[in-house]
Amino acid sequence: MGKVYLVGAGPGDPELMTLKAARALGRADVVLIDDLVSRGCLAHVPSGAIVIEVGKRGGCKSTPQAFIEKLMVLHVRQGRTVARLKGGDPFVFGRGGEEADALRAHGIEVEVIPGVTAGIAAPAALGIPVTDRRATHGVTFVTGHGAEVDWPALVRGRTTLVIYMGLARWREIRLELRRAGLADATPACIIQDGTSRTQKQVIATLGTLSAKGFGSPALIVVGDVVRFARGAALAPHAKAA
Ligand SMILES: C[S@@+](CC[C@H](N)C(=O)[O-])C[C@H]1O[C@@H](n2cnc3c(N)ncnc32)[C@H](O)[C@@H]1O
């Protein structure tokens, strides 16, 4: 039996992948790579290795998880070392926990290699320290994807909010945050393709931030720390692109 490395590729810039991740890729016979992962990360993969695209572009729309897990089990049982390369950190909104559990249930050895999550790196690329003590006592990573988030509780918590996958629901999320009492003047920003060459962002406030013109992958950051973003002092109420 081979083994599986569950590898975090980091947020976009391939140089933000860890040394441990690069070494694991160097040992791989098979690499399963997600959409969000920079292809630059594949520079560490041996030339003879099989590289399989398993994101939506790979055509696994219907049952991606089951399909991906099946593929890994198949290759490991043939004695291959598999690297499962996921964007950011595999355990942050990445279903890495589910994949590790499924593999271990098949008796497969899994080694998890953490990665730099977009929720820290993309704000940092703008100069935003998500837990800066001058502005907050903590940070909450939350998905904007589902409807089950307790937004009033998050507002009461008074931490920086880093919202993954929230772009499509930004109008509803903003409404929830306002209803919960968060002031319109609270600094907020959107960062698309954070740390990549194609990075773009808008810095505004809860009241003025618009998702228009932005696409996936993007993060929304809400909280006083956004005022530390480079350029924010020049355009605190900038209109969205
Ligand atoms: C399924 S989650 C995976 C998160 C990943 N595991 C991580 O730790 O960064 C995908 C979401 O992460 C965010 N994301 C990932 N990479 C990003 C980037 N480079 N810039 C901005 N947001 C990003 C977006 O909200 C995207 O929709």
Instruction: For a ligand 1 pocket test, name from 145, 190, 219, 222 the mutation site with the most ligand atoms within 8 angstroms of its C-beta.
Output: 219
- Does the beta carbon of 9 lie inside 6 Å of ligand 1? no
Calculate the alpha carbon distances from 144 to 3, 88, 151 in Å: 34, 17, 10
**Residue 64 pLDDT > 90:** no
Arithmetic mean of pLDDT, 196-210: 96
Confidence band of 165 (pLDDT split at 50, 70, 90): very high
pLDDT of residue 230: 86
Residues 6+ apart with CB under 8 A from 33: 41, 42, 51, 52, 53, 54, 55, 85
Q: Which of 34, 72, 89, 193 is catalytic?
A: 34
Is 150 an annotated catalytic residue?
no
Arithmetic mean of pLDDT, 56-71: 67
Is 35 an annotated catalytic residue?
no
- Does the beta carbon of 123 lie inside 6 Å of ligand 1? no
pLDDT of residue 62: 40
pLDDT of residue 1: 86
The rounded Cα 133 to chain-centroid distance in angstroms is 24
Q: Indicate whether this model's pTM tops 0.85.
A: yes
Is 56 an annotated catalytic residue?
yes
Confidence band of 231 (pLDDT split at 50, 70, 90): low
**Residue 236 pLDDT > 60:** no
**Residue 233 pLDDT > 70:** no
Question: Rounded distance, CA 58 to CA 235, Å?
Answer: 40
Q: Which residue has the tokens 């968060």?
A: 182
Confidence band of 146 (pLDDT split at 50, 70, 90): confident
Q: 87 C-alpha to center of ligand 1: Å?
A: 7
